Amino acid sequence: MVKKIELISDGNHVRVDIFIASKLEDISRSEIKKYIKEGLLTINGKPTIKPGYELKPNDSISLIIPDKKIDTIIPENIEIDIIYEDSNIMVINKKEGMVVHPGAGNYSGTLVNALLSLRPEIAGVGGEKRPGIVHRLDKDTSGIMVIAKDNKTYLELQKQFSRRIIQKKYILITKGIFNNNAGKINFSIGRSIKNRKKISRRTNKSREALTYYKVIFEKKGFSLVEAMPKTGRTHQIRVHFFESGKPIIGDQLYGSSAKKYFNRLALHAKEIRLIHPVKKQIFCFKTEIPAEFLRFFRNI
């Protein structure tokens, strides 16, 4: 089933592919350019195949998006960093830049592609499209993830996440100095009313979001911070610090001068604490602070 997107331009001299990408969630700009070149775009009722067409205010835009189903996820021999594994769970240190599961614009090279090659027995655990995936990290966030290797474990971990039994700690670098060495950020967030790719406190549908933090180190206007989210909203840590005036450096979505300071999102999931679904013991898994985080402070 195809989908038809209709928009009205609210800017002048903005490329149509950039404008559409800013309004749509889960569709990449490269996909939009492809659809435009295939003749699936009309502007003011006239077909155009130019992704670089510059819009005028109140231009009427119509884009047909073909149905794209992922029928089969192909296992791929991709190296992943396993820090613990038994017959029920696998705990990995996801690298920055790796997408967790296939989706629009990312049909290969994902963590799921790697997992199905390494442990084909997890196929179907928790569903065919996201086998073993109980929680996720953003593409540009590195760090700890726990994978379920059987359905009983999957359901038990899901229950622990929903009941907020599982505790996670992140390490990040912010631009800005804090008034207190520790504190909390507590305001509701949801899909932005201005940009559907973003999360914001300016939203039509907000959800509770709470993050505790502790400042580890500060130098020349930058802070190394540990964050402990008590809720698990999309982009929660990124939005909480951005809208508190302390954006995470390297964040290209929530920061206009992202790469000026750091060539990646300075956010790393460094610790996870859970009750083992079968052994019923508390397990705590940790990773080191990424070397580039510490190198940044040495060099500024």
Name the residues annotated as catalytic.
138
Q: Which long-range contacts (CB under 8 A, 24 or more apart) does 261-264 make?
A: 261/175, 261/222, 261/296, 262/173, 262/292, 262/296, 264/96, 264/97, 264/140, 264/292
Separation between Cα atoms, residue 169 and residue 176, nearest integer Å: 20
Tell me the torsion sign for CA atoms 67, 73, 74, 77. Answer: positive
Q: Spell 210-240 as b/e; 16+ CB within 10 A means b.
A: bbebebeebeeebbbbbbbbeeebebbbbbb
Cα atoms in the 13 Å half-sphere on the side-chain side of 29 = 10
Separation between Cα atoms, residue 143 and residue 137, nearest integer Å: 8
DSSP letter assigned to residue 185? E
Helix (H, G, I), strand (E, B) or coil at 161: helix
Tokens of 248: 């995470």
Q: Is 133 left (phi over 0), alpha (psi -120 to 50) or beta?
A: beta
Give the residue among 40, 60, 59, 66 at the shortest CA–CA distance from 51: 40
DSSP letter string, 87-104 = SSEEEEEEPTT--SS-BT
What angle separates helix 16-23 from helix 29-37, to the nearest 10 degrees?
A: 130
